Amino acid sequence: MITAQIFWQSFINGILMGGIYALVAVGLTLIYGVMNIMNFAHGEFLMLGMYISYWAFTLLGIDPYLSVVIAFLILFLIGTLIEKTMIEPVLKGQPLNQLLLTIGISLFLSNMAVFLWSSDNRSLQTTYSNTSFNLGNIVLHEPRLVAFLFAVVISIVLYIFLQKTKIGKGIRAASQHKEGALLVGIDVKKSYMIAFGIGVACAGIAGVLLSPFFYINPTVGAAFSFTAYVIVVLGTMGNFVGALIGGLIIGIAEAIGGIVFMPSLKQVISFGIFILVLLFKPTGLFGGQQ
């Protein structure tokens, strides 16, 4: 029997996890919204963020949450390099070529991780990895709460960056009308490169935030990647706010699904929502880009 306490505990856990899902999806929807390309290697960049956090803590003693800055810089540089050398040459080609390229990047990164670090599960144990506190009858896991707060703050900062800064406005202009952006002097290629780098860095940061309480291995990104695709479609392809709200919806749906069904089947509800959205509102909940 599902009691009120179990329900609300799962609901809060879903919100906390949904914040991290949202950050992953924000990076994915930014890349799609600006460049009109689905990055099927997105989950592997999350995986790299987890390994950056793990090795920074293991070798250098750097707290995982402090390694957010390191992961951002490394993955932003990796993302811009990949965009410039691999993505840019195929942007004018067939969509299938773009799809196969990002799948190839995904396979390369996951297999490179196996080669470098083996396929064994690793865990990052800090002094606060298993700490929690009570809020009434609800138990809040501190690393999940901190990760959620980080994800929300980073998402808000990114939104302000895109809305208020010159570079952010250039990225939005390039996403809305490439030819018009070129006519007013915006460097569209540079905007694409920055957008891809930021999108990749968002995935990496999400990996860092997960690392204190989630297992780490070369294939861990696949599940998060697929969930991010569901969120992006749910919240409308290319819609920033939609990705944030969609992440929370899926996080809650999975948490509630985990107590209604077996935990291993918790994604049944989220994919059920996904199918219903595709059937009755295929443009997503918000029906447009932002």
Give me the residues paired with residue 139 across strands: 134
Q: What angle do CA 136, 138, 140 make, to 5 degrees?
A: 115
**Rounded to whole angstroms, how far apart are CA atoms 175 and 188?**
9
Sign of dihedral through CA atoms 167, 169, 172, 174? negative
Q: Specify the pLDDT at position 45.
A: 97
Q: Specify the pLDDT at position 290.
A: 47
Give me the residues paired with residue 133 across strands: 140
**Rounded to whole angstroms, how far apart are CA atoms 146 and 114?**
29
Residue spans per domain, the chain? 4-133+142-280
Closest listed residue to residue 28, CA positions, set 166, 208, 277, 227: 227
Give me the residues paired with residue 138 across strands: 135
- As given in the structure block, the two tokens for residue 151 are 């994800």
Q: Specify the pLDDT at position 289.
A: 47
**What are residue 94's phi and psi, to 5 degrees?**
-70, 140
**Rounded to whole angstroms, how far apart are CA atoms 203 and 21?**
9
**Rounded to whole angstroms, how far apart are CA atoms 160 and 166?**
11
**Rounded to whole angstroms, how far apart are CA atoms 137 and 153?**
27
Per-residue pLDDT of the chain (290 residues; tens, 9 = 90+): 678 788 889 899 999 999 999 999 999 999 998 998 889 999 999 999 999 999 999 999 999 999 999 999 999 999 999 999 999 999 888 888 888 999 999 999 999 999 999 999 999 888 888 888 888 888 888 999 999 999 999 999 999 999 999 999 999 999 888 889 888 889 999 999 999 999 999 999 999 999 999 999 999 998 888 888 888 888 877 788 888 888 998 999 888 887 877 766 666 777 787 788 888 887 877 765 44
Contact (Cβ atoms closer than 8 angstroms) between residue 106 and residue 48: no
CATH topology of domain 4-133+142-280: ABC transporter involved in vitamin B12 uptake, BtuC (1.10.3470)
The full DSSP string for 198-251 is HHHHHHHHHHHHHTTTS-B-TTTHHHHHHHHHHHHHHT-TT-HHHHHHHHHHHH
**Rounded to whole angstroms, how far apart are CA atoms 233 and 250?**
12
Closest listed residue to residue 278, CA positions, set 243, 241, 237, 247: 237
